[in-house]
Amino acid sequence: MGRELALITTIFKKDLVSEFRAKESVVTMVTFSVLILVLFSMAFEPSRRTVEEILPGLIWMSLIFSGILGLNRTYARERFNDCLIGILSTPIAPYQIYLGKAASNLVQLLFVEIITFPLYFIFYDLNLKGSLGILIIIMLIGSVGFILVGTFLAALTSNLRANEALLPVILFPLLMPVLLAAIEATSAVFTGLSLDQYLPWIKLILVYDLIFLVMPLLLFDYLMEVD
Amino acid sequence: MIEGINISKTYGSKNVLRDISVRIPMGEFVAVLGPNGAGKSTLLKILALISKPDSGQVIIGDQSLINTPGELKRKIGIISHSSFLYPELTAYENLQFFGRLYGMDNLEAQIIAVIKKVGLLLALNEQVYTFSRGMLQRLSIARALIHNPEVILLDEPFTGLDQHGISLLQGVLRDLKSNHKTILMVTHSFEDGMNDVDRILILNKGQIAADFPTENLLSEDLKRIYHEKVAC
Amino acid sequence: MKLIPLLKKILFGSTFVSMLTALYLVFEWVPIERQMGPVQKIFYFHVPSAWVAFLAFFVVFVASIMYLKTKAEVYDIIAGSSAQVGVVFTAIVLITGPIWGRAAWGTWWTWDPRLTTTLILWFIYLAYLIIRNSAKGNEKNYRLAAVFGIIGFIDVPIVFMAARWWRTIHPVVFEADNIGLPPSMLITLMVCLLTFTLLYFVLLLKSMKIEQVERKIQNLKSEALKAY
Ligand SMILES: Nc1ncnc2c1ncn2[C@@H]1O[C@H](COP(=O)(O)OP(=O)(O)O)[C@@H](O)[C@H]1O
Ligand SMILES: [Mg+2]
């Protein structure tokens, strides 16, 4: 058990170190999501009412779009110098590669969220009616769902031609439930609804997270097979 | 010792390897020659347990004690024309990463030892993207040997090396041989690294066309045999 | 050995008969519905198409699992062909749905949970076909498609759950059509369901045949190239 965890953290640390050292995707992701929020703030010239209506969707869409930039990088880095073959020649199991990469992608996405989130409050003059704690939980479990599916499907598309353009096309339809649930729950917290009115959404996100944790563990071997 | 028994592999309808059996006893150094597309790299990947054959079996060392694929991979080191190295990481971090994947204890001492062997001690904390092609190849040798494998598999390791790199790699191979390592090297060249080879296999169209010892074999003879076997 | 061609003939023959019967029932026999008029007949195409679409994607799911288990090419061919047929029938659902909606409720599109799920389903299997086509003839690609065929199908029930829950909190403009069907309509619907199911298998077999021939041509081509 300890040994397996050590392998997962080895992948996790390696990805984070090379990512933050190269700075390519983290910087791009942050810049991109800030840009979206500035542009939308200009496009809609938000009044208080429209803010509450569009902001949850805007937040999640900008996160998904900037997250995809990072997901595409994850395996591009492994293909360069055939590093993936190198990894697969060691005793590590494919599911450990998957978990390590998912964890690293999650940390990068959370990093983007921590930077951009305060900016939403500033640019859109938002005052939160619900609980900040619950909002953070929703952001966290929603991000987990997105990253679990995204890390899995990015491994799939990295095998294909035109993979960078392909990832959103195959990822978005599968993300629909978690995205819808996260937007609805976020929106409920913004407008200050009581918890039992949006608890089913939170449950739905958790179910989604669980299913898309289990499925990749069952199927990731097939994506890592070398022929 | 490494052995492949009745290995076949097809891609779609293309038979890349047809029922191949090879056995390399411990301490033997075998070179595999063959034209492009003969299936050399495919065979190497199957022996390294990276790729699965459609049928057949790979045996590495004494398998009576341990036989999970993970444990077996610990006995193999591969060197290829790709370096398997991360440009943003330093030489040390690259070796540390792979050492950890092999689950090694006492990693730091091992890293220093192996990096000294390839003469890169001064570049230990440099990021790999600053390395020249020769340094990269040396580091990839260190990477392959970090876990002290019993069996070393090489896929055209001399491609793109300068004279200095060639003699360094030859030195490493000689060293490995004197340590009784089992070595299988896929190569294009009739000269580079051939001095220490014990046996030559010629692979053509997915089959072993010839298998002979190098003792008393002249370079001209080798070329003649090769062209005989591959031409038809 | 003669059995399979015989079964095929029986299948094609019974599809033909059942198709004629269905057309007769829909356009001649079943009375015109009072409220909606002739437009209501779209119902006999819409519902069976939806059924066939789900059946087709279930077949993709099962064949994908079988392909990963056995690596037998035929399962990949079944999965790919079934997905193509499924996408066509999903498109029929998505076209007939709004026509119905326009006549029944006065609006083209509503985010009805079933229609929403069908739309997402369509996108998922379009993505599936894109994956298949982006590196044709490569065995690795069959594997990637199979993985997506499995994970895409698993996603569908969650999509439906989300869509239904979404509708319950947003105002529902139109009531679901839970009207008990009169016997004549029920009989017609049943015959249509049978016909569409038979039609699915006919199209699946044809589509598989095309794929098999295409692969054979591809192989012959590369053999011929090798001779040079
Ligand atoms: N992943 C693959 N998919 C399809 N064909 C492949 C794949 N890898 C290798 N091949 C084919 O298998 C044959 C042998 O390849 P390889 O083992 O790389 O040859 P060599 O290393 O001897 O040049 C070639 O014809 C090549 O096109
Ligand atoms: Mg090769």
- Cα distance between residue B185 and residue B194, in whole Å: 10
Indicate the burial class of A82 (C-beta count within 10 angstroms; 0-12, 13-18, 19 or more). Answer: middle
pLDDT tens across C177-188, in order?
555 678 888 888
Sites in chain B below the pLDDT cut of 70? 63-67, 232
More confident residue, A6 or B134: A6
**Cβ under 8 Å to C: B residues 3-42:** 11-14
Transcribe A153-208 into DSSP letters.
HHHHHTTSTTHHHHHHHHHHHHHHHHHHHHHHHHHHHHHT--HHHHHHHHHHHHHH
Give A177's contacts in chain C (Cβ within 8 Å): 155, 158-159, 161-162
Average pLDDT for residues C108-116, to the nearest whole number? Answer: 83
pLDDT at position B61 is 83
Report yes or no on C133 lying in a domain: yes
Weakest mean pLDDT among B160-169, C13-22, C62-71:
B160-169
C219 to B11: CB separation less than 8 angstroms, yes or no: no
Q: What are phi and psi of C95, to 5 degrees?
A: -85, -45
Q: How far is the CA of A224 from the centre of ligand 1 (A)?
A: 18
How many domains does chain A fold into? Answer: 1
* ipTM tops the 0.95 cut: no
Domain of A166 in residue numbering reads as 2-224
Largest CA distance in chain A: 57
Confidence of residue A194 (pLDDT cuts 50, 70, 90): confident
**Could you tell me which residues come within 8 angstroms of residue A13 by beta carbon, excluding any fewer than 6 positions away?**
none
Q: Which of B41, B43, B159, B185 maximizes ligand 1 atoms within 8 Å of its Cβ, making it the mutation to test the pocket?
A: B41
Q: How far is the CA of B230 from the centre of ligand 2 (A)?
A: 16
Report yes or no on C5 lying in a domain: no
Report yes or no on C24 lying in a domain: no
**Could you tell me which residues come within 8 angstroms of residue A21 by beta carbon, excluding any fewer than 6 positions away?**
B88, B89, B127
pLDDT at position B81 is 84
Four-point Cα dihedral B121, B124, B126, B127, nearest 10: 130
Give C219's contacts in chain B (Cβ within 8 Å): 12-13
The pTM for the full model equals 0.92
Given a cut of 70, whether residue A46 has pLDDT beyond it is no
pLDDT at position B181 is 94
Given a cut of 80, whether residue A14 has pLDDT beyond it is yes
Q: How far is the CA of A77 from the centre of ligand 2 (A)?
A: 22
Average pLDDT for residues A109-117, to the nearest whole number? Answer: 92
Transcribe A68-137 into DSSP letters.
HHHHHHHHHHHHGGGHHHHHHTSS--HHHHHHHHHHHHHHHHHHHHHHHHHHHHHHTT----S-HHHHHH
Give C138's contacts in chain B (Cβ within 8 Å): 12
Looking at the CA of residue B12, tell me the nearest atom of ligand 1.
4
Domain of C215 in residue numbering reads as 39-181+201-227
Looking at the CA of residue A226, tell me the nearest atom of ligand 1.
1
CB B157 within 8 A of CB B136: no
A169 to C127: CB separation less than 8 angstroms, yes or no: yes
pLDDT at position C169 is 61
How many domains does chain C fold into? Answer: 1
Residue of B10, B11, B13 to mutate, interface with C, max C Cβ within 10 Å: B13
Residue of A163, A205, A222 to mutate, interface with C, max C Cβ within 10 Å: A222
Average pLDDT for residues C92-108, to the nearest whole number? Answer: 86
B-chain residue closest to A89, CA distance: B50
Confidence of residue C209 (pLDDT cuts 50, 70, 90): very high
Neighbours of chain B (3+ CB pairs under 8 A): A, C
